[in-house]
Chain A
Amino acid sequence: MTRKGCDSGLFLLVGTGHQLAQQIWDEAALGHCELIMSTLTIHEVLVIHFRRGKAKEADKFRMLIYSSPWLRIVPVSARIAERSAGYRHGLGLPTVDAITLATAVEEGCDEILTTDRHFLVAENQGIIKVNLLR
């Protein structure tokens, strides 16, 4: 089964009707691939909920996401912190992006799904395939 790293952008696109994002989401739900995300993605998506005054929905989102077997939520381990420091310094990535990238690499993902062009440098450096969803 393929493993796809993802960042918060995937959830924003799924929630705004982006066709490809929705297709990937459904494929993952049906067990055709596994989505790997950092705990920081939970942080980012919840912040967006809170900013819109959607605390109740945030709570439900959290509960449903933790119940989804096609999602693997990976905490920031020492190895991920160390690798992400290198990406931040060497690739000039913001910290959250560096951690998301390090998470996908440490978890052996085949590609990373993102809406953020910052990640393209990782593909240019041969680190991981980047699937830019925008």
Chain B
Amino acid sequence: MIQRLGKICLVGDMAMQEKVATKVISVFIREDGSVPIPKELLELVQWQPNDEVLVFEEDGHLVIMTRQQLADEIVKLLQAVFKDADPEELLRELEREREDDPQRL
């Protein structure tokens, strides 16, 4: 189990990890599929019992993060894609893509 940047990633194969592991604790998945996360790890990412977190799969890993973290992750990704782009030119590009305006046909 790895803590990084406020997220906890549960991975099947530790050897695959390229990120720096700060805390690794072995846990066993329960019969109902739930995974017990030790309190000390929750404290590291400042999560409290009953906080809502999102759990999803990414490239064979289970990723857990808060809604705000996921929202920020998407923003960061979009910022990287549109880095140095002129917003107005981007919007014009989008509108050009839609140029099947019936008045122009």
Q: Mark B19-32, 1 if CB is under 8 A from A, else 0.
A: 00000000000000
Interface of B is mostly: helix
CB contacts (< 8 Å) of B87 on chain A: these are 12-13, 16, 18
The stretch that binds B, out of A61-69, A74-82, A105-113, A122-130, is A61-69
Also in contact, A12 and B82, with CB within 8 A (given A61-B74, A67-B70): yes
Inter-chain contact total with CB atoms closer than 8 Å: 103
Q: Of A16, A25, A51, A118, which is within 8 A of B71 by CB?
A: A25
Q: Mark B26-61, 1 if CB is under 8 A from A, else 0.
A: 000000000000000000000000000010101000
CB contacts (< 8 Å) of A17 on chain B: these are 79
* Number of residues from B at the complex interface, CB < 8 A: 30
Interface of A is mostly: helix
